[in-house]
C-alpha cells in the first residue's frame, strides 16, 4: 500500500466534458482510499472459476461482494462447449446416441433413453419396442440415478471439507460403474440405448451380479446418511442456506430435487410415464424447507427409491429371460452382437461371418443400414424424462432423411443455473459453494 499523498478533485468542465456526468482525477496514494473518498463506496468483483474445483465443472461465477456478503452473482458458461447438437445433424439417427451420451457425463443413460424415445415416436414404433428392452432401460437409468446422486453428495461434501463423504460416495459409485461395464463395456459414454431397444441383452449372471452389489450400495448410503444427516455441524452449515421457494422455482423453470425440496412432487416418471414407469411402485419424496440441507435429504431418499425400482426390474428381467431386446423390423434394428475380443468390445466375429456368409443381399443390407442409416418420417416430437437433475427434454425434428434435421436438448442443469443469483445474493461468499453444490450442475450438459 502506498503511503504517498493523493488528491481527488472534480475535473474542470469544458467542451471535452459532459457536465452532467461526475468525474474525478486521482494521482498518487492508495487507490482504494481514493475510491472511497471520491466515489463514496467500494465495489469488489471476484471471479470464482472457471477452474475452481467447487463449481462442478468449467463454470465461471462472477461475484460482487461487500466484505463477505455477496451483493450480486452471475454465471458465465460456454467454456465446455462441444457442439454436440450441431454434430448430430451430420450423423445417422443411431449414431446420434454416441453424441448425446457425452453431454451430461454423469448421467449418460438418460440422454440416450430420451433421444431414443423421441426417435421411436417419430418412427411410430413406440409400442413395438420389446418389453425386455424397456425393463433394461429402466434398470440402467435407475442405477445411473443412484451413481449420479452419489457424485453430487460426495463432491458437495468434499467442497465443504468433508473428504470422507467423497471417498464413501465414490466407493459406492464404483459398485454401479462395474455393473455398467459388465453390460456396455464402458463406465460412461455408453451408446448402449439404441432406437428400437438396446445394443444387446445383459450378460449371463447379471441379475445375480446386481443383487450382490445392492447391499453394498445400501451400506454406503447408510454411512453417508450417518455422516451427513446426523452431523450437527453439517446440518448447521446447510440449513437455511441457498433457499429457493416454490415461486422462485416455477418462475425460473427449476426442476428435479431442487423443485421437490420446495414442496412440489413433480416427477416426469409419474406425470408423463415412459418405458413402463407407471407399472413400477415407488414414491416421490418432497420437502418444504427449500434449502440445501433438504436437497441432500431428498437425494439420499431418491437413491433408496431407485433401488426399489431396481429390485422390481430385476424380477421382471428373470421373467423375460431370452426375449428380444430390439424391434423385429430389420430395416431399423441395428445389427449388433457385441463380444469381448483381443481388441476390446466390438461386433462378434461369428456375427460378422454370419452376415458375410449368408447372402450378398444380407451383406448389402448390413452395409447400407450401418453407413446410411434408416429413414425417419418427417415430423417433430418433444420427449421428456426424469433426469437426476430435473426434467430432461428432447426436441427432435426430422425432414424425412437418415439424419436428424435438429436435435435440441433441454438440459436441467442449464435451467437450474439461473437460480444461482437468487440463491446466493445476500448470503456469504462461502455459501455460494454450498448453493452451487445443492444445484448439482454438470457443465457438459449446460454447454453441449
Burial class (CB in 10 A: 0-12, 13-18, 19+), 51: exposed
Distance, C-alpha 67 to centroid of its chain: 34
pLDDT tens digit string along 175-192?
A: 999 999 999 888 889 889
Q: Do residues 110 and 141 touch, judged by C-beta distance below 8 A?
A: yes
Taking each helix axis from N to C terminus, what angle separates 349-358 and 360-371, rounded to the nearest 10 degrees?
A: 120
pLDDT tens digit string along 128-184?
A: 999 999 999 999 999 999 999 999 999 888 888 888 999 999 999 999 999 999 998
3 state SS of 414: helix
Residue, of 415 and 359, whose pLDDT is higher: 415
Q: Do residues 297 and 288 touch, judged by C-beta distance below 8 A?
A: no
pLDDT for position 347: 67
Please check the confidence at residue 372 and state whether its pLDDT lies above 70: yes
Torsion of CA 264, 267, 273, 276, to 10 degrees: -130
Please check the confidence at residue 30 and state whether its pLDDT lies above 60: no
pLDDT for position 296: 92
Give 89-332+374-447's CATH code, choosing from 3.40.50.300, 1.10.569.10, 1.10.645.10, 2.40.50.140: 1.10.645.10
pLDDT tens digit string along 399-416?
A: 999 999 999 999 999 999
User: What average pLDDT does range 60-73 have in this prediction?
Assistant: 86
Task: Using pLDDT thresholds of 50, 70 and 90, give the confidence band for residue 14.
Answer: very low
Give the C-alpha distances (Å, rounded to integers) separating 244 from 56, 62, 157, 263, 436.
Answer: 20, 20, 20, 11, 12
Residue 326 is classified by DSSP as B
Distance, C-alpha 204 to centroid of its chain: 30
Which residues, other chains included, contact 209 with Cβ-Cβ below 8 Å and sequence gap of 6+? 179, 182
Which residues, other chains included, contact 12 with Cβ-Cβ below 8 Å and sequence gap of 6+? none
Tell me the three cell numbers of residue 262. 420446495
Q: Which of 42, 37, 43, 30 is nearest to 9 (CA)?
A: 37
d(Cα 407, Cα 382) in Å, to the nearest integer?
Answer: 10
Task: Using pLDDT thresholds of 50, 70 and 90, give the confidence band for residue 21.
Answer: low
Q: HSE, CB side, 13 Å, CA atoms: give it for residue 189.
A: 6
CA angle 113, 404, 397 (to 5 degrees): 85
Task: Point out the least confidently predicted range of 324-328, 334-338, 381-385.
Answer: 334-338
Computed over every residue of the chain, the mean pLDDT equals 85
Q: Do residues 243 and 291 touch, judged by C-beta distance below 8 A?
A: yes
Q: Which of 249, 269, 251 is nearest to 259 (CA)?
A: 249
List the domain boundaries for the chain. Answer: 1-42, 89-332+374-447
Please check the confidence at residue 17 and state whether its pLDDT lies above 90: no
3 state SS of 194: strand
Amino acid at each position: 500500500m502506498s503511503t504517498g499523498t493523493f488528491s481527488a478533485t472534480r475535473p474542470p468542465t469544458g467542451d471535452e466534458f459532459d457536465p452532467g456526468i461526475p468525474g474525478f482525477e486521482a494521482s498518487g496514494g492508495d487507490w482504494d482510499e481514493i475510491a472511497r473518498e471520491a466515489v463514496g463506496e467500494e465495489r469488489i468483483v471476484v471471479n470464482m472459476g472457471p477452474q475452481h474445483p467447487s463449481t462442478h465443472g468449467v463454470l465461471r461465477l462472477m461475484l460482487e461482494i461487500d466484505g463477505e456478503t455477496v451483493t450480486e452473482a452471475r454465471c458465465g458458461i460456454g467454456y465446455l462447449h462441444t457442439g454436440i447438437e450441431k454434430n448430430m445433424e451430420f450423423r445417422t439417427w443411431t449414431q446420434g446416441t454416441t453424441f448425446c451420451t457425452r453431454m451430461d457425463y454423469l448421467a449418460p443413460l438418460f440422454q440416450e433413453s430420451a433421444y431414443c424415445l423421441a426417435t421411436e415416436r417419430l418412427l411410430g414404433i413406440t409400442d413395438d419396442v420389446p418389453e425386455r428392452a424397456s425393463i433394461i432401460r429402466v434398470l440402467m437409468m435407475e442405477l445411473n440415478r443412484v451413481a449420479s446422486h452419489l457424485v453430487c453428495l460426495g463432491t458437495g461434501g468434499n467442497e465443504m471439507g468433508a473428504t470422507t463423504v467423497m471417498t464413501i460416495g465414490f466407493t459406492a459409485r464404483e459398485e454401479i460403474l462395474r455393473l455398467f461395464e459388465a453390460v456396455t463395456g464402458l463406465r460412461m459414454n455408453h451408446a448402449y440405448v439404441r432406437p428400437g431397444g438396446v445394443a444387446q441383452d445383459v450378460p449371463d449372471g447379471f441379475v445375480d451380479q446386481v443383487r450382490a452389489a445392492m447391499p453394498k450400495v445400501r451400506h454406503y448410503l447408510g454411512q453417508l446418511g450417518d455422516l451427513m444427516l446426523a452431523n450437527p455441524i453439517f446440518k448447521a452449515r446447510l440449513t437455511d442456506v441457498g433457499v429457493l421457494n416454490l415461486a422462485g422455482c416455477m418462475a425460473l423453470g427449476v426442476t428435479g430435487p431442487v423443485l421437490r425440496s420446495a414442496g412440489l412432487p413433480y416427477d416426469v416418471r409419474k406425470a408423463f410415464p415412459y418405458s413402463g414407469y407407471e407399472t413400477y411402485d415407488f414414491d416421490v419424496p418432497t420437502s418444504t424447507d427449500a434449502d440445501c440441507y433438504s436437497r441432500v435429504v431428498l437425494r439420499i431418499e431418491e437413491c433408496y427409491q431407485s433401488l426399489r425400482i431396481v429390485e422390481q426390474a430385476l424380477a421382471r428381467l428373470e421373467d423375460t429371460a431370452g426375449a428380444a431386446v430390439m424391434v423385429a423390423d430389420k430395416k431399423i434394428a441395428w445389427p449388433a452382437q457385441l463380444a469381448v475380443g483381443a481388441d476390446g468390445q466390438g461386433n462378434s466375429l461369428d456375427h460378422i461371418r454370419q452376415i458375410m456368409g449368408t447372402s450378398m443381399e444380407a451383406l448389402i443390407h448390413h452395409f447400407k443400414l450401418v453407413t446410411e442409416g434408416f429413414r425417419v418420417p418427417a415430423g417433430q416430437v418433444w420427449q421428456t424424462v426424469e433426469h437426476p437433475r430435473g426434467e430432461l427434454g428432447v426436441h427432435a425434428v426430422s425432414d424425412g432423411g437418415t439424419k436428424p434435421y435438429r436435435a435440441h436438448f433441454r438440459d436441467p442443469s442449464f435451467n437450474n443455473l439461473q437460480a444461482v443469483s437468487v440463491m446466493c445474493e445476500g448470503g456469504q461468499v462461502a455459501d455460494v459453494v454450498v448453493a452451487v453444490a445443492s444445484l448439482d450442475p454438470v457443465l457438459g450438459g449446460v454447454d453441449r
